[in-house]
Amino acid sequence: MKPVREVAVVSTAVHQVPALTGTTEVQLMVPLLNAARDAVGLTQADIGFTCSGSSDFLAGQAFSFVQTLDAVGAFPPISESHVEMDGAFALYEAWVKLQAGEVDTALVFSYGKSSPGSLRDVLALQLDPYFLAPLWPPADAVAAIQARLLLEAGKVSGEELAEIAVRSQRNAVGNPNAVRSSPDVAVEDVMAEVPIADPLRPSDLAVESDGGCAIVLAAGDRARQLCGRPAWIRGIDHRIDAHGLGTRDLSRAPSAELAASVAAATADLAIGSLDIAELHSPTTSQEAILIRGLGLGASTEVNPSGGALAANTLMAAGLVRIAEAARRIIDDGADRALAHATSGPCLQQNLVCLMTGV
């Protein structure tokens, strides 16, 4: 969709930990929502539209997103929506609402607290309910089958996957929202790990975390008033591939490629010329697919935060990528950034968001 209004990320807040104990999703989100609004001097009354993303299956509480609105302060009644998807897709809905000209500001948030349950089993339930879910294939096993296709086709080597793991763990050092980091891990260390889901080793798989993310969006002059250097969303698109694992080429992510090319055309930006890219890759093999498929250039710094490999909060990790990329524009002076979010097995659905500082 061609933007008709300039819309920017003007503030972000992120919190991720290995497991949230003693804290509800509501208590997690209160400080994050306040931090995102306070950073730009807004109260909920100033927010035109609020959109969230979460999944009830994580904590096993039906319609839990309704309760999480307690954290927003939704009285008097607010304009609000929710998606059972990663918060990045909630951000897309808010962006469309801003494009429609109905509102000038939006609050987007998402959260995931998967620690009380078994994420491997929950994720099995997103597969085909007749042919696959009754077999309870673990998510890491499904990703491993994809990884082997990639390796045996010669599209990537085991060492290259290990290099991705090493980069993530090293970049994550100093990121308070990363739950796996190491300043001195080496490729040999990763290669020496015993595979969890052959050929994937522990460092090839994203580490599960609990957490949340909140982002404030604003349009045009409102964004300029609120933020010295807004992260302007110049192109954003999301696409989906077929559901059946056997009906697509798992060694590629055509929906990610298409989303990236549409976003780049809209933004009039070359993907090869970006400063940074934050990729939502649940495995190193999926990161390898994305780096090649999106067409990232050698000069682009990939996942300076450590990426989703360093902390993969289900339902929030994609929005966290947008927050991390935007923060580097807002606070650190980066000029051109890509953020990617995924949903579904083996990179089935993909969102690409291109942002610039000017």
C-alpha pair distances (Å), 40 with each of 32, 55, 138, 215, 226? 13, 28, 42, 11, 5
Comparing CB distances to another protein, the nearer of 23 and 182 is: 23
Q: How far is the CB of 157 from another protein (least distance, A)?
A: 16
- In this complex, which beta carbon is closest to another protein, that of residue 26 or of residue 173? 26
Show contacts with another protein in window 224-283 (CB under 8 A): 242-248, 250
**Integer Cα distance of 177 and 111 in angstroms:** 13
Q: Which is nearer to another protein, 143 or 236 (CB)?
A: 143
> Dihedral angle at the C-alpha atoms of 221, 225, 227, 231, nearest 10 degrees?
0
Q: Does 194 bind another protein (CB under 8 A)?
A: no
Site for another protein in 305-344 (CB under 8 A): none
136 binds another protein (CB under 8 A): yes
Give helix 284-294 / helix 139-152 axis angle, nearest 10°. 50
Contact 98, 90 (CB under 8 A): no
131 lies in the binding site for another protein (CB under 8 A) = yes
Say how many residues touch another protein, by CB under 8 A: 60
Q: 1, 4, 100, 133: which one contacts another protein (CB under 8 A)?
A: 133
The distance of Cα 58 from the centroid of its chain, to the nearest Å, equals: 17
List, in order, residues 6 or more apart from 138 with CB less than 8 Å away: 120, 121, 123, 124, 197
Return the number of other C-beta atoms located less than 10 Å from residue 166's C-beta.
20
CA 9/CA 106 separation, integer angstroms? 10
Which spans in 54-186 are helix H?
56-59, 64-68, 87-99, 119-124, 139-152, 158-171
- Rounded to the nearest whole angstrom, what is the least distance from the CB of residue 185 to another protein in the complex? 24
Does 183 contact another protein by CB under 8 A?
A: no
Using CB under 8 A as the binding rule, whether residue 199 contacts another protein is answered as yes
Report if residue 295 touches another protein, rule: CB under 8 A.
no
Which residue from 63, 130, 183, 228 is in contact with another protein, where contact means CB under 8 A? 130
Structure-token pair, residue 105: 């500001």
21 binds another protein (CB under 8 A): yes
Q: Is residue 39 near another protein by the rule CB under 8 A?
A: no
Token representation of residue 355: 């942002």
Does residue 174 interact with another protein by CB under 8 A?
Answer: no
Task: Work out which of 22, 154, 183, 228 binds another protein, going by CB under 8 A.
Answer: 22
Is residue 202 at the binding interface for another protein, with CB under 8 A as the rule? no
Q: Which is nearer to another protein, 115 or 182 (CB)?
A: 115
Query: Which residues 6+ apart lie within 8 Å of 46 measured at CB?
Result: 37, 105
Counting contacts by CB under 8 A, is residue 40 touching another protein? no
Nearer to another protein, 250 or 338 (CB): 250
291 lines the binding site for another protein (CB under 8 A): no
Token pair 């400080």 is found at: 31
Burial of 309 (0-12, 13-18, 19+ CB in 10 A): buried
Residues forming contacts to another protein in the complex (CB under 8 A) are: 21-24, 26-27, 30-31, 33-34, 44, 57, 59-60, 69-75, 116-118, 120-122, 124-125, 129-138, 141-142, 144-146, 148-149, 152, 195, 197-200, 242-248, 250
